[in-house]
Amino acid sequence: MNKIVDITPFPLSYRLPEGKTVTLGIGSTIKRDTIIVRVRTSDGVTGYGECHPGRSPGAIVSLINNTIAPLVTGMNATDCNGVWSRVHKMQLASHGIGSGAALALSGIDMALWDIRGKQANMSLVDLIGGAPRRVKAYAGGIALGYQPAASLAEEAMGYVRQGYKAVKLRVGDGARNDIERVSAVRKALGDDVDILLDANTVYSLEDVRRVMPAYAELQVGWLEEPFACNNFAAYREAAQLNRSVPLAAGENHYTRYEFAQLLEARAVQVFQPDLSKTGGITEGLRIAALVSAWGAAVHPHSSATGLNHAACLHVLSAVDNPGYFEACVSS
């Protein structure tokens, strides 16, 4: 049996160059953080994964080193389900660190899939049972933030010139500013480009009531995270305000259990699991299947390094309900 013998997390931080700061609902970005996870096996195979730092990379690194790694070291390195279940039982299901454990597990799980692929000499999409195919993408990540309407429209046009057929703008800067910016971008791009919006949880229900009629008229593709991830009541009420603008969420929801709550509450219509947060590739596939049963697509959230981007593209090529890939155009 090829056993897990070592798990090492590497926290990384990159300060953005002068003039590259992006302002959005949760503040201004000055740096980008992530955690790369390396897993080594008794057969000498090394796999790499990525986990989101959760605004506290030191805490996630400590959780991996002191809790998660001791739980799974010695287990079969190709038993992704077994490793996932053990961490779920000991951390997610009772007396654990909750979302922090999901972040840590995500990077380990991704590395285990890398090991499986290397041992079998197969790509991830082949391992899952899919085949390479074209995946539609939108210009997203940490970009298209608060700025004068004219410069936002010009930035969006730049991504369209690169070939993107959809862009995601940041909103949450007051109804008047938001509508002015979205209107300017729609005028610049015309009707053939999808405009998606992300409020980064800063809208109130009254804000949504104000902006929804304009967003519907401007043919907005979705409104992402208008509220905090746990405010199911607000999502349910907002979903009734204007059905032509779907609500999106998922990057701050962990494991299939929270996605089941979203589905059962009929709180959102667009589902966005992040493979570096929600429990890794293993759980991402379960979430995709769950969402598929409700007739919806998955549009993975992704705004970190190429590891998570590659995993998302392979998963989107393998599932039967692929949506948009989020291209982090600022990376």
Give Cβ neighbours of residue 115 (< 8 Å, ≥ 6 apart).
Answer: 2, 39, 41, 45, 46, 47, 77, 78
Determine the pLDDT at residue 293. 98
CATH architecture of 127-328: Alpha-Beta Barrel (3.20)
CATH number given to 4-123: 3.30.390.10
What is the pLDDT at residue 331?
55
Cβ neighbours around 324 below 10 Å, total? 24
What is the per-residue DSSP string for 81-150?
HHHHHHHIIIIISSSS-THHHHHHHHHHHHHHHHHHHHHHT--HHHHHT-------EEEESS-S-S--HH
SS3 203: coil
Please state the length of the chain. Answer: 331
Q: Which pLDDT score is estimated for 295? A: 98
> For residue 203, what pLDDT is reported?
98
Domain ranges for the chain, please list them.
4-123, 127-328
Question: What's the pLDDT score for residue 97?
Answer: 86
Gap between the Cα atoms of 276 and 286, Å rounded: 15
**Which two tokens mark 149?**
């309407």
Q: Which two tokens stand for residue 162?
A: 């690169």
pLDDT averaged over 10-residue windows placed end to end, the chain, 331 residues:
97 86 81 96 98 96 98 98 98 92 98 98 97 96 94 98 98 98 99 98 98 98 98 95 94 97 94 98 99 98 91 98 94 55
The pLDDT value given to residue 25: 82
